[in-house]
Amino acid sequence: MYINWQTIITIGGVLSALLLIFGLILKVHKWYLAQNEQSKEIIELREKHTDDIQHIKKENMLICYALSACLDGLQQLGCNHTVPDAKSKLDKHLNHQAHE
- Tell me: the pLDDT tens digits for 29-85? 999 999 999 999 999 999 999 999 999 999 998 999 999 999 999 988 888 888 889
Q: Which domain holds residue 84?
A: 5-98
Dist CA 37 CA 31 (whole Å): 10
How much is the pTM?
Answer: 0.57
Number of domains in the chain: 1
pLDDT at 94 over 90: no
What mean pLDDT do residues 82-91 have?
90
- pLDDT at site 78: 87
- Cα 29 to Cα 32, 39, 56, distances in angstroms: 5, 15, 41
